[in-house]
Amino acid sequence: MKIENNNQRGFWGSRLGFILAASGSAIGLGNVWKFPYIVGENGGGAFVLIYLLCIFIIGTPIMLAEFTLGRKTNLNPVGAFKSLTPQTTFTGIGYMGVLAGFLILSFYGVVGGWTFAYVVKSITGSVLSFTTPKEAGTFFGNFIGNTGETLFYHALFMGVCIAIVIRGIHGGIEKACDILMPTLVFFLFLLMIRSLTLEGAMEGVTFYLSPDFSKINSNTILIALGQAFFSLSLGMGCMITYGSYLSDKESLTSSTVYVVMFDTMIALLVGMVIFPAVFAMGLEPTEGPSLVFSVLPTVFTSMPMGQVVSVIFFTLLAIAAITSGISLLEVVVAYFIDERGWERKKTVMIVGFGIFMFGVPSGLSFGAMSDFKLMNMTFFDHVDNVASNYLLPLGGMLTAIFVGWIWGTKNATEEIQKEENVFGFPWVQCWEFLIRYITPVAVGTVFLAKVLP
């Protein structure tokens, strides 16, 4: 069922635009904020190797499956499943995806707001007066506990996402990513050069690149797999939605390879920025989630040209967050446009505002509502937990099962091979094997390990 005549939908203007937008979705806080601190906590190089394995064996097949579903149906996740099977139970995967998009953006927007705030605070210099990470941590804690300030930046972040998505696929999302993604790469290279030329930087490079397998256990593998998932924006129909704006001419296999490589390259580069700097300044890489917001400002304070570096770094983090935020918003918006026949402008405003409002208690979870806990977890923790640890892996596993067994790899490969298959190696057969047998079992294992005590 093609619905090119739905003028509220739109298409990508070019293949590069699509690849940049999908990469923009994938490259986000997951790469720049989360990846470095979990590498730091889990022993460096060895963890990186396992992460790479998860990306290639599990992430890549699911991404191709999602792109295929999207391009085949030209619909949002709910419509995509609905149009391929009369069994309504599978439409549930789509609804789960839309819900996950709503939930993830509600707290992602909060952290996105923090990145905006740190750009401003770098410009004014207020995050550049720390001698120890502890001081920087206290500053960060005070900031995220300040209701008025965090709400302001949270609203600003959501406002920017709304302003982009309201302009549609080609005129909004694609244009923004065409400008923002190259900027991000440029900034990243600048930072890497600065970092690697610091005295003592090599110690960080060694930590990052030489694997120490004694640090690896079953939990590490689960963390690596979960990170692969979140980082590639999989399991919630985001790549179905982006694939749905793709024309039949474009190659799905090579697009998948580009997006995966781009996302992975950025994560690896971010490591090359952060670890040399952290080690050169004699700090520890095992700081946890505050690595970026409290260890780095300490590093910037004592580094030549630290303020410029700080402004660039947090701008980069903000850009990465925006291009992911808009993809999350687009999933929910596409559902209302396709399935409810809503008009884009109205949809973006209502959905964007709704997500912001739902995100407010998450934003307050570090201050005014920090004592409001259920099972020892704040509102923020619960939303993150439900979406990232339950909805995403479940969605990914069911998508693999759906494509591998219900819709079937025969139908899927037909769609994939619409465009010429340029590779000599039987990649598509490999993919069929992975998506049917390996991916569902691997994701199922992670999922069970998280659900079972």
Binding positions for ligand PHE, rule: CB under 6 A: 25-26, 28-31, 104, 230-231, 233, 236, 238, 324, 327-328
**CA 453, 31, 279: angle at the middle one, nearest 5?**
95
User: Shortest distance, CB of residue 11 to ligand PHE, whole angstroms?
Assistant: 20
* Cβ atoms < 10 Å from Cβ of 33: 21
**Nearest residue to 248 via CA among 4, 76, 51, 30:** 4
User: Shortest distance, CB of residue 224 to ligand PHE, whole angstroms?
Assistant: 14
Q: Which is nearer to ligand PHE, 17 or 393 (CB)?
A: 393
User: Shortest distance, CB of residue 231 to ligand PHE, whole angstroms?
Assistant: 4
DSSP 8-state code for residue 281: T
How far apart are alpha carbons 416 and 404 in whole angstroms?
Answer: 14
Q: Which is nearer to ligand PHE, 31 or 244 (CB)?
A: 31
How far apart are alpha carbons 106 and 241 in whole angstroms?
Answer: 19
Residues pairing with 77 in the sheet = none
Q: Which is nearer to ligand PHE, 119 or 328 (CB)?
A: 328
Q: Which is nearer to ligand PHE, 144 or 238 (CB)?
A: 238
Residue 109 CA, chain-centre distance (Å), reads 12
How far apart are alpha carbons 12 and 14 in whole angstroms?
Answer: 6
User: Shortest distance, CB of residue 291 to ligand PHE, whole angstroms?
Assistant: 15
Q: Which is nearer to ligand PHE, 128 or 259 (CB)?
A: 259
User: Shortest distance, CB of residue 229 to ligand PHE, whole angstroms?
Assistant: 8
Read off φ and ψ for residue 369, nearest 5 degrees: -110, 20
Straight-line distance from the first to the last Cα atom of the chain, in angstroms, rounded to the nearest whole number:
43
Q: Which is nearer to ligand PHE, 24 or 44 (CB)?
A: 24
User: Shortest distance, CB of residue 286 to ligand PHE, whole angstroms?
Assistant: 21
Enumerate the H helices of 364-408 as residue ranges.
Answer: 379-384, 392-401
